Amino acid sequence: MTATSLFTPGQGDAVLSGTPGAGSGGTYRLTLDASNGVTPAATQAFTLTVRQAPSIVSPGRAKFRYGRRTRFVVRGKGYPLPTLRLVRRLPRGFTFRSSGKGTASLTANPIRWEIGRRFTIKITARNGVGQAVTHKLTIEVPPARKSS
């Protein structure tokens, strides 16, 4: 994170300001020192919290093979970590479980009628900072490979 501080002598206050850089959400421990020439100087611990809007950083496409149990992890970012929620219904045999801590897993063992099909679902990420974001995920069940 980039920040600057400004101390105004004689006023007894200071300003900490800046614009957080991308991906800098989190908590930062700082120590503030003040002195006016009289012993002892003052020291105070300070925790700065930088909140970051949610995002989903997983690819927009996932492949699931017929007859093979597969798990795809959806990852969110932001501070605090976002909660991921499913917006659209899933095809039969698919499950979606959110950890509540920035990840969710999509698990399936596709059935025969899903072979060669594509499904698009929507997942939202929310953490109370800014607007929720929506991520489109295309689920593919490719045809089985022919063995030679």
Same domain, 57 and 46: no
pLDDT at 54 over 90: yes
pLDDT at 4 over 60: no
For the chain, the straight-line distance linking the first and the last C-alpha, in angstroms and rounded, comes to: 56
How large a percentage of the chain has pLDDT more than 70?
89
pLDDT at 18 over 90: no
Same domain, 69 and 35: no
Same domain, 96 and 44: no
Average pLDDT, the chain: 86
Could you give the C-alpha distances from 125 to 30, 100, 102, 112, in angstroms and in order?
A: 30, 10, 8, 32
Residues 96, 111 contacting (CB under 8 angstroms)? no
Helices (H) and strands (E) in the chain — how many of each?
0, 12
148 located within any domain:
no
Q: What is the pTM of this model?
A: 0.77
CATH of the domain at 75: 2.60.40.10
Between 133 and 24, the higher pLDDT residue: 133
Reduce the DSSP state of residue 75 to 3 states and report it: strand
Q: How confident is the model at residue 84 (pLDDT cuts 50, 70, 90)?
A: very high
Between 137 and 145, the higher pLDDT residue: 137
Same domain, 64 and 43: no
Same domain, 112 and 135: yes
Q: For the chain, how many structural domains are there in total?
A: 2
What confidence score (pLDDT) does residue 1 get?
47
82 located within any domain:
yes
Q: In sequence order, which residues have a C-beta less than 8 Å from that of residue 145 and are 6 or more positions away? A: none
What confidence score (pLDDT) does residue 106 get?
95
Residues 62, 37 contacting (CB under 8 angstroms)? no
Domain that holds residue 27: 4-50
Domain-ending residue, one of 29, 50, 71: 50
Residues 110, 64 contacting (CB under 8 angstroms)? yes
Same domain, 61 and 123: yes
Same domain, 136 and 76: yes
- The two most distant CA atoms of the chain are separated, in Å, by 87
Same domain, 61 and 124: yes
